[in-house]
């Protein structure tokens, strides 16, 4: 850990001093971090600026470009292409093995177990110019907490929340860590554009460059889903009317919110009043973010102002934050992994759909269930990142600029 810290400091100091690099030091840095996505080490101005753009074209030193990443023993590309033979070969081998062993973007990550999976996620999304707030569940073991603390201590821009919560589904404790991270991130830096919340069992479907382009395409709009038709209104029955003529709605806790939205949430009295009302509801994490974003009279920056809610046949407003497969009637076959508490645990059979998905992140993965799925996704994002820097692929953000919540924002 000390060696890693000294190498990180070496690279950072050379950025600041405009020095040339000892290539061996750079290779050591890349190897120990296993963070091959941090390619723009030559782009000093971009690395330390407050801009949202990260442009692969600024990289001219081919020494920082890398070769194809591959997972040994299995062909990830075949799995991504839907090759049933390769899929059967892996699943059969895995099941036998299982029997034998008991922009600047501000990101919050809620975790409770599996250090290795947290490392994999952080390695995929890490950028020196971003900030990462990690909440470790209060019920996690002391050893787990110390391991995460040790990882965070290696980086100036990765930190743990100032307060920990005992997270239990359906209670305010799901929402409180998110807001705590917002507060901590707000106090640490003002030069950022978007806030994204994750859990330790998710993984990106977009490269960092793609994610930055998407958030720029959002142009300040909040990617926060909401529904009235499918809302569980009984969850609000004991809370009384919401304050300030607010119409409650239901939506997932997963969000990509603008800085201005977070500012409103933390500092506007109407948002604070809504939060207090939400405390009296059931499953408040599926009410607060969506409701705040879908009441135009509150003038929340980037919130939704479209005609969606006037159409009784619509379900949810559009959202691209998560690929998440629920067990709905007639849609069970879309999950090629397994269902746990009505949510699909993604496996190798889901890779083809994941690779083609336009969503930002995928939820969810278990390390003890077909872990090759996560490894293949890591390979895919790694190689796609390389191709971006080699300018052999182009990302079209038109889909994201045409989203209803982007066109019809406050």
| Structure token pair of residue 272 | 């604070």
The active-site residue out of 86, 202, 286, 379 is 286
The DSSP secondary structure of 331-378, one letter per residue, reads -GGG-SSEEETTEEE--GGGHHHHHH---SEEE---TTS-THHHHHHH
pLDDT value of position 253: 94
Residue in 330, 322, 326 with CA at minimum distance from that of residue 339: 326
Measured on CA atoms in the order 25, 27, 33, 35, is the torsion positive or negative? positive
pTM value > 0.85: no
Buried b / exposed e along 192-227 (16+ C-beta atoms within 10 A): bbbbbbbbbbbbbbbbbbbbbbbbbbbebbbbbbbb
User: DSSP character for 64?
Assistant: G
- Residue 321 CB burial class (10 angstroms; 0-12, 13-18, ≥19): buried
Report the C-alpha gap between 239 and 365 in whole angstroms.
35
CA dihedral angle for residue 91, residue 97, residue 98, residue 101, rounded to 10 degrees: -170
- How many CB atoms are located within 10 Å of the residue 347 CB? 24
pLDDT value of position 334: 92
| Structure token pair of residue 55 | 């442009």
pLDDT value of position 113: 86
Phi, psi of 29 (to 5 degrees): -60, -50
pLDDT value of position 49: 34
Q: What is the pLDDT along the chain (410 residues), one digit of tens a residue?
A: 444 444 445 444 544 444 444 445 444 444 444 443 343 333 333 333 333 335 555 544 444 445 566 655 667 777 677 776 665 555 443 333 333 333 688 899 999 888 999 999 999 999 888 999 999 999 999 999 999 999 999 899 999 999 999 999 999 999 999 999 999 999 987 788 999 999 999 999 999 999 999 999 999 999 999 998 889 999 999 999 999 999 999 999 999 999 999 999 999 999 999 999 999 999 999 999 999 999 999 999 999 998 777 776 777 888 999 999 999 867 789 999 999 999 999 999 999 999 999 999 999 999 999 999 999 999 999 999 989 888 888 899 999 999 999 999 99
pLDDT value of position 403: 96
pLDDT value of position 78: 74
Report the C-alpha gap between 174 and 286 in whole angstroms.
10
Report the C-alpha gap between 383 and 198 in whole angstroms.
23
Tens-place pLDDT, residues 381-405: 999 998 988 888 889 999 999 999 9
| Structure token pair of residue 297 | 């009279």
Report the C-alpha gap between 62 and 104 in whole angstroms.
25
Three-state helix/strand/coil letters over 179-208? HHHHHHHHHHCCCCCEEEEEECCEEECCCH
Report the C-alpha gap between 184 and 342 in whole angstroms.
33
Measured on CA atoms in the order 145, 146, 147, 149, is the torsion positive or negative? positive
| Structure token pair of residue 243 | 């304050």
Residue 147: active-site member:
no
- Taking CA 199 as the corner, what is the angle to CA 194 and CA 200, rounded to the nearest 5 degrees? 125
Contact partners, residue 84, CB within 8 Å, separation at least 6: none
Strands (E), 89-223: 105-111, 131-136, 158-160, 194-199, 202-204
Helix axes 2-17, 23-33, angle to 10 degrees: 130
**For the chain, domain boundaries:** 4-64, 67-102+320-410
Tens-place pLDDT, residues 276-327: 999 999 999 999 999 999 999 999 999 999 877 777 677 788 899 999 999 9
């Amino acid at each position: 850990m000390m060696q890693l810290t000294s190498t990180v400091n070496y690279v950072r100091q050379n950025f600041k001093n405009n020095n040339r690099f000892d290539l061996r030091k750079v290779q050591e840095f890349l190897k120990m971090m296993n963070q091959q996505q941090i390619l723009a080490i030559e782009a000093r101005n971009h690395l330390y600026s407050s801009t949202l753009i990260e442009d692969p074209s600024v990289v001219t030193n081919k020494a920082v470009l890398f070769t194809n990443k591959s997972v040994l023993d299995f062909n990830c590309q075949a799995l991504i292409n839907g090759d049933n033979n390769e899929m059967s070969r892996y699943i059969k081998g895995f099941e036998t093995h299982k029997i034998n062993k008991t922009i600047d973007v501000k990101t919050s990550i809620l975790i409770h177990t599996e250090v290795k999976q947290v490392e994999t996620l952080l390695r995929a999304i890490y950028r020196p110019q971003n900030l990462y707030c990690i909440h470790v569940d209060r019920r996690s073991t002391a050893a787990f907490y110390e391991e995460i603390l040790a990882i965070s201590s290696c980086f100036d821009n990765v930190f743990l929340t100032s307060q920990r919560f005992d997270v239990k589904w359906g209670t305010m404790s799901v929402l409180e860590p998110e807001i705590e991270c917002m507060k901590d991130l707000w106090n640490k830096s003002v030069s950022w554009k978007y806030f994204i919340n994750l859990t330790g069992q998710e993984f990106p479907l977009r490269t960092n460059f793609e994610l930055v382009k998407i958030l720029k395409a959002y142009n300040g709009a909040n990617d926060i889903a909401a529904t009235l038709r499918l809302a569980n209104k009984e969850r609000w029955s004991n809370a009384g009317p919401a304050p300030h003529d607010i119409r409650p709605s239901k939506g997932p806790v997963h969000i990509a919110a603008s800085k201005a939205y977070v500012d409103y949430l933390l500092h506007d009295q109407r948002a604070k009043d809504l939060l207090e009302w939400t405390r009296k509801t059931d499953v408040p994490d599926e009410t607060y973010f969506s409701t705040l974003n879908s009441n135009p009279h509150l003038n929340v920056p980037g919130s939704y102002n479209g005609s969606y809610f006037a159409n009784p046949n619509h379900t949810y407003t559009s959202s691209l934050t998560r690929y998440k497969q629920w067990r709905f009637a007639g849609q069970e076959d879309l999950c090629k992994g397994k269902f746990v508490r009505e949510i699909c645990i993604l496996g190798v059979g889901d890779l083809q759909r994941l690779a083609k998905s336009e969503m930002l992140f995928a939820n969810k993965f278990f390390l003890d269930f077909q872990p090759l799925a996560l490894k293949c996704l890591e390979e895919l994002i790694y190689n796609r990142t390389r191709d971006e820097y080699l300018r052999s692929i182009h990302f079209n953000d038109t889909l994201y600029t045409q989203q209803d919540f982007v066109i019809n924002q406050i």
